Amino acid sequence: MRLTRAKMNKPADFDLKSSDTGSVAVLNGDWTAVLMGEANERLTEVLRGTSGVTIDLSGVTRLDTSGAYGVLMAMAASAGRGEIIARPEVRRLVDLVAEAIKAEPTPVKPRRPVFELFARIGEGVLNIGFDVFDLFVFNGHLLVSVGRAAARITWSLFPWLFRMFGWSRPAPIRWAPVFALAERAGLDALPIVATTTFFIGAVVGLIGADMLSNYGAQVFAVDLVGIAVLREFNIVITAVLLAGRSASSFAAEIGAMKMKQEIDAMQVLGVDPFDALVFPRFLALLATIPLLTFVATIAGLCGGMVVIWSELGVGPSMFLSRMVEHVGVKHFWVGMSKGPVLAVVIAAIGCRQGMEVGGDVESLGRRVTAAVVQAVFSTILIDAFFALVYMKLHI
């Protein structure tokens, strides 16, 4: 088999003969980019300035665009008109390459840096406007889906109300994907949330114990850990982890379905993608983020308590009693109140970016990255807004 293949792959070559009308170049072998070598250059030098040239391609085994281009360049180097003899299929390839050579080159536009800068700024402003418009469309569709779910719950509790007004029975809520997503997006995140907030609480306790020891106020390290964990770090760390974990997975899952045209198929079958895909993720994250925040609170307080116990000798009983007396439960509810808002924002960002995925993998990567970045940025921004509002309300 190797001998046969080597025999078939014959390098390009030619023989130059004389005839009554002029020179005849008989080509043989494979005139391809791999096996042509310098045969085209030698043919060009031989035919340069020769008149009445005929190039015979009947003996060519294989010919590609590179070989055809070499033959045409050799013909162009000869003086006067020439002739190419070839089989019909070879003739079509040679004519195709000849037409491509005659085509005008693509004009190179001069670069104008200042113009391009303003063009990019204008394009960015337009993209922001389009994103805001798409955001309103997405939120409106999501509100409609939430309204349908509320109607379904109302029908389950008060079916007579629908019969009295003649309303039709609403579509059922898909509880199976809600529980599945709640387990995957919420319960599976418990270990990483607890571990992260434990070390965050330990770091806050270590810094507080070290700094406050210089002023003889070591006991206030308990207050520092309690307020920091209860008000800020429990919900912020939970939301940031969910932004990187759940928002990216939501965008990737829905985006992959968008690429495979599964969402279009759902619409053809009469299934609303928001009811089947967006609302279950929205409800799952909304239900699990209070649990994750509570676990993060316990883990953060445990981390701070361990460090303060080892560094300052404040035992768990004194730590907890001071937490109850001086910190109070108010800060706990302040932190928990941010959870539903952040859950809605993170789920909406992840699902919206997934719905905006195009038909290529590059678009999927961009949208997943945008989901994580926007979710993290929104988390920090909303937390700052809540801190400002609670400060003005003296809470």
**pLDDT at 4 (0 to 100):** 42
Alpha-carbon distance of 369 to 351, in angstroms, equals 13
Read off the pTM.
0.69
Q: What is the pLDDT of residue 213?
A: 80
Instruction: Give me the residue label for tokens 């895909």.
Output: 277
Concatenated DSSP letters of 204-254: HHHHHHHHHHTTT-TTHHHHHHHHIIIIIIHHHHHHHHHIIIIIHHHHHHH
CATH of the structural domain 2-102, one choice from 3.40.50.720, 3.60.70.12, 3.30.750.24, 2.60.40.10: 3.30.750.24
Q: What confidence tens digit (pLDDT) does each residue in 171-230 have? A: 777 788 888 888 888 788 899 999 999 999 999 988 888 888 888 777 788 888 888 999
Residue 100: what pLDDT?
84
How far apart (Å, rounded) are the C-alpha atoms in residues 176 and 250? Answer: 17
Domain map (residue ranges) of the chain: 2-102, 119-165, 175-392
Q: How far from 11 is each of 54, 200, 239, CA to CA, in Å?
A: 21, 70, 66
For 299, phi then psi, to 5°, come to -65, -40
Residue pair 222/315 in contact (Cβ under 8 Å)? The answer is no
CA 208 → CA 300, 308, 311, 334, distances in Å? Answer: 14, 9, 11, 22
Q: Look at residue 215 and give its three-state secondary structure.
A: coil
3-state secondary structure of 375: helix
